[in-house]
Amino acid sequence: WIRERSGIAERRWVEPGTSGTALALAASRMALDDAGIAPEELDVIIYATLNPDYAFPGNGPLLQHALGLRETGALDVRNQCTGFVYGVAVADGLIRAGTARTVLVVGAEVHSTGLDVSTRGRDVAVLFGDGAGAAVLRATDEDRGVAASVLHSQGEFARELWCELPTALIPGRWDDAAAAAGRQYPRMNGRAVFQHAIRRFGEAIEEVLAKGGVAKEDVALFIPHQANQRITEMVTRRLEAPPERVYANIERYGNTTAASIPIALSEARREGRVERGDWVVLVAFGSGFTWGANLIRL
């Protein structure tokens, strides 16, 4: 049933006690090594997650410290599945403004400790896995980098995919009766999310290509957020693209929200699916509702 509905065959869940920061640290070191950049060269860290280790502070400063840095700027992006796309857009803006030259963008999630694994929560719990991915953006005079980004949200649908507890709306931020009803676990209107995702994925891709002045035929690889294999397949049909030009790895990892795109991008590079100079589109849709896309020349 899980495979038929989502395309997921495997997921990774952390060992008890493993933090999102620990996953992010491993991914960040891989990205920095791949880029040939020392942590000390970073000007800003952007950490995308819906599951920070603590209510506050955010995980950005925790990762900054774990990397052995003293005063490097760090911030969190809380845009759930769209977090990495938003993070890339923010990093690009900082670089273009001259505020930063080298930015680390991380997507990392530990879902497993916050899922209802009873029959009551199975519709959501079967989808999500733990993981992390990262990328380094740096100012350059070459004809490379982020050519365009588009970012959108529609808060009227916020409660179609959300987690209610803890909440700042009540003293103590917790309600025992609500918790007994499972309202501390993520809830989703699957049909609504599916219908909106199919539409918004396609719109965001078309919009970012138009903004960047690039034809879809010139894109080497489209990397969508790994939410559901059926969504990916429908987006592929809308693009009229061969399946090999739309990356999919949800079968192995499930939905890792903010981590899914950087994990896929990293794997695509290692597999030789993209090379320096190729056009790549990153696109995501998720809770909020939020959605967006980045057009990048590697």
- Which structure tokens are listed for 277? 């100079």
Rounded CA-CA distance 51/158 in Å is 17
Q: To which H or E segment does residue 289 belong?
A: none
φ, ψ of residue 26 to 5 degrees: the values are -65, -45
Q: How far is CA 244 from the centre of its chain?
A: 21
SS3 194: helix
- The set of long-range contacts for 29-35, using a CB threshold of 8 Å and a minimum separation of 24, is 29/67, 30/134, 30/266, 31/104, 31/133, 31/134, 31/135, 31/136, 31/262, 31/266, 32/104, 32/136, 34/136, 34/266, 34/269, 35/136, 35/138
Buried-state track 4-19, b at ≥16 Cβ within 10 A, e below 16: eebbbeebebbeeeeb
Assign 3-state DSSP to the chain and report helix, strand, coil percentages, each to 5: 45, 20, 35
Specify whether 225 is catalytic. yes
- The residue annotated as part of the active site, out of 225, 228, 249, 294, is 225
- The residue annotated as part of the active site, out of 79, 81, 249, 294, is 81
Specify whether 163 is catalytic. no
So what's the pLDDT on residue 22?
A: 98
- Helix runs in 162-217, H state only: 176-180, 190-212
So what's the pLDDT on residue 165?
A: 96
Residue-level pLDDT, tens digit, the chain, 298 residues? 899 989 999 999 999 999 999 999 999 999 999 999 999 999 999 999 999 999 999 999 999 999 999 999 999 999 999 999 999 999 999 999 999 999 999 999 999 999 999 999 999 999 999 999 999 999 999 999 999 999 999 999 999 999 999 999 999 999 999 999 999 999 999 999 999 999 999 999 999 999 999 999 999 999 999 999 999 999 999 999 999 999 999 999 999 999 999 999 999 999 999 999 999 999 999 999 999 999 999 9
Nearest residue to 86 via CA among 219, 297, 283, 256: 283
